């Protein structure tokens, strides 16, 4: 029976142009990667600052392996808590200007653990319609009432908050940079509504850390909202070039999560060398603002170029630049033609994005050269014309 179910599901996905496959990268992760023995330009990673293969991260991890070994050996509450974990938690809390921080093994399980430990049956969670899957899954796991407001629509959010009973425990949760659309959440308005209706605010800065704000602290810094967001979650797996996630907030919040977040308690600690590499990534974010400046320069160049050609790039404001082609099969076709021409941009299809909004998700890095950028624009233009998209 299970075989029939699997076969039917896979067939259906294939027929609808939604079947996914994994491509293997041979060698290092940067602006140029090797796939199937061919070097291609990489325009789809979240490695915005080009740190994923920075030798300094590798050296930090190696030094930790020498000093601390490889595996954590146990959950952090048993005997798997190392100096590297502690140092990273202290540094990210200091960087974000919060009392404390707690590491989680990934952003996905951070969202599951934070949301489901703090909220449950009888509570209400107000979530942007385009929030990341890990937020949605965290809400579903919590059992709280799930209220989806229209994307970045503050009237929709205000109406839902107004209709909610005053006595109910409420949370408003949003991506800071929307991972598939590249726009920035209207955080000042969210914070104002939260104050008005006595709700807490949680922000997922997965794509905000290292990208937004004068010092790369994220959307909270970008909007000058320090001290006004209750829960700041984010990851080291994107701009910081490493792996793992954090939750920053009050000492009280972190103490609560250590005691109640099941995805923190019941899992082996992150290998300490990964925490050491994340710490190095964070240090580079602080010390090398020129990387962020270059990333923004490259972002503006590509966004303007694609817009001038007439592509639909939605309301992107960041290095995540969608090229909406709507049809799923067409998006795969576009991606394959790009790959044949030496450029890797993966197609993003439902259910990752809403129906009929399949797209190429172009992402820009600090390390892309002017030649790389011009090559992308020129090839995308040719294929876009052939496919009657522009």
Ligand X SMILES: Cc1ncc(COP(=O)(O)O)c(C=O)c1O
Q: What is the DSSP letter of 213?
A: S
Considering only residues 84, 98, 237, 335, which one is a binding residue for ligand X as defined by CB under 6 A?
A: 237
Verify binding: residue 132, ligand X, rule CB under 6 A: yes
> What is the smallest separation between the CB atom of 237 and ligand X, expressed in angstroms?
4
Verify binding: residue 179, ligand X, rule CB under 6 A: yes
Residues 136-155 as x/- pattern, contact with ligand X by CB under 6 A:
--------------------
Residue 124: strand, helix, or coil: strand
* Contacting ligand X within 241-280 (CB under 6 A): 245
Please, which residue, 104 or 344, has the CB nearer to ligand X? 104
Closest by alpha carbon to 318, among 288, 283, 361? 361
- Under 8 Å between Cβ of 65 and 256: no
Of 132, 147, 170, 207, the catalytic one is 207
* 73-81, 84-92, 105-113, 307-315 -> range binding ligand X (CB under 6 A): 105-113
> What is the smallest separation between the CB atom of 178 and ligand X, expressed in angstroms?
8
Burial class (CB within 10 angstroms; exposed 0-12, middle 13-18, buried 19+) of 281: buried
The site that binds ligand X (CB under 6 A) totals a number of residues, namely: 13
* 14-22, 200-208, 311-319, 376-384 -> range binding ligand X (CB under 6 A): 200-208
In the sheet that holds 200-204, the strands lie side by side as 100-104, 245-249, 231-235, 200-204, 170-175, 124-128, 145-149
Verify binding: residue 204, ligand X, rule CB under 6 A: yes
Check if 179 is active-site.
Answer: yes
Please, which residue, 157 or 177, has the CB nearer to ligand X? 177
Closest by alpha carbon to 261, among 72, 102, 87, 84? 102
Cα distances (angstroms) measured from residue 219 to each of 132, 210, 224, 243, 259? 16, 10, 8, 20, 28
Q: What tokens does 163 get?
A: 């209709």
Verify binding: residue 117, ligand X, rule CB under 6 A: no
d(CA 159, CA 340): 49
Angle CA 140–143–149, to nearest 5: 60
Verify binding: residue 134, ligand X, rule CB under 6 A: yes
Verify binding: residue 235, ligand X, rule CB under 6 A: yes
* 56-64, 204-212, 222-230, 358-366 -> range binding ligand X (CB under 6 A): 204-212
Please, which residue, 118 or 206, has the CB nearer to ligand X? 206
Rg (CA), the chain: 21
Please, which residue, 45 or 134, has the CB nearer to ligand X? 134
d(CA 124, CA 118): 11
Considering only residues 50, 80, 107, 210, which one is a binding residue for ligand X as defined by CB under 6 A?
A: 107
* DSSP H helix total and E strand total for the chain: 14, 14
Check if 207 is active-site.
Answer: yes
* 48-56, 93-101, 199-207, 321-329 -> range binding ligand X (CB under 6 A): 199-207
Please, which residue, 185 or 302, has the CB nearer to ligand X? 185
Please, which residue, 115 or 276, has the CB nearer to ligand X? 115
* Contacting ligand X within 156-175 (CB under 6 A): 175
- Under 8 Å between Cβ of 144 and 124: yes
* 80-88, 106-114, 308-316, 330-338 -> range binding ligand X (CB under 6 A): 106-114
Cα distances (angstroms) measured from residue 127 to each of 10, 144, 154, 156? 31, 12, 11, 11
> What is the smallest separation between the CB atom of 269 and ligand X, expressed in angstroms?
16
Of 45, 64, 179, 242, the catalytic one is 179
* β-strand pairing of 343-344 with 245-249: unpaired
Q: What tokens does 358 get?
A: 């399949």
Verify binding: residue 363, ligand X, rule CB under 6 A: no
List contacts with ligand X (CB under 6 A). Answer: 106-108, 132, 134, 175, 179, 204, 206-207, 235, 237, 245
Q: Indicate which residues carry an active-site annotation.
A: 179, 207, 238
């Amino acid at each position: 029976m299970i075989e029939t179910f699997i076969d039917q599901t896979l067939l259906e996905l294939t027929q609808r142009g939604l079947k996914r496959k994994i491509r293997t990268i041979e060698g290092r992760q940067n602006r140029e990667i090797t796939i199937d023995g061919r070097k291609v330009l990489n325009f789809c990673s979240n490695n915005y600052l080009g740190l994923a293969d920075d030798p300094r991260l590798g050296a930090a991890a190696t030094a930790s392996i020498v000093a601390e070994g490889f595996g954590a050996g146990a959950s952090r509450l048993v005997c798997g808590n190392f100096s590297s974990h502690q140092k990273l938690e202290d540094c990210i809390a200091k960087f974000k200007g919060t009392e404390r921080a707690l590491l989680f093994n990934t952003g996905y399980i951070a969202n599951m653990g934070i949301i489901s430990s703090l909220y449950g049956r009888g509570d209400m969670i107000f979530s942007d319609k385009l929030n990341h899957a890990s937020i949605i899954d965290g809400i579903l796991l919590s059992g709280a009432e799930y209220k989806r407001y229209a994307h970045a629509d503050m009237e929709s959010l205000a109406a839902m908050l107004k209709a909610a009973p005053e006595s109910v425990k409420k949370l408003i949760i949003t991506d800071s940079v929307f991972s598939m659309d590249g726009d920035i959440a209207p955080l000042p308005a969210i914070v104002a509504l939260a104050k008005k209706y006595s709700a807490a605010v949680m922000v997922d800065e997965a794509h905000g850390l290292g990208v937004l704000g004068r010092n790369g602290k994220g959307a909270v810094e970008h909007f000058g909202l320090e001290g006004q967001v209750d829960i700041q979650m984010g990851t080291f797996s994107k701009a910081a070039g490493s792996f793992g996630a954090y939750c920053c907030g009050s000492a009280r919040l972190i103490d609560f999560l250590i005691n109640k977040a099941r995805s923190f308690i019941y899992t082996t600690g992150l290998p300490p060398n990964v925490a050491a590499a994340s710490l190095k990534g964070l240090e580079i974010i602080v010390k090398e603002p020129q990387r962020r400046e270059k990333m923004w320069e490259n972002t503006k160049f590509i966004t303007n170029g694609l817009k001038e050609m007439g592509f639909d790039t939605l309301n992107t404001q960041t290095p995540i630049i969608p090229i909406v082609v709507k049809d799923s099969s067409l998006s795969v076709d576009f991606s394959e033609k790009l790959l044949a021409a030496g450029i890797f941009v993966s197609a993003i299809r439902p259910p990752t994005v809403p129906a009929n909004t399949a797209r190429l998700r172009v992402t820009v890095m600090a390390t892309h050269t002017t030649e790389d950028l011009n090559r992308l624009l020129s090839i995308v233009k040719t294929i876009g014309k052939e496919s009657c998209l522009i």
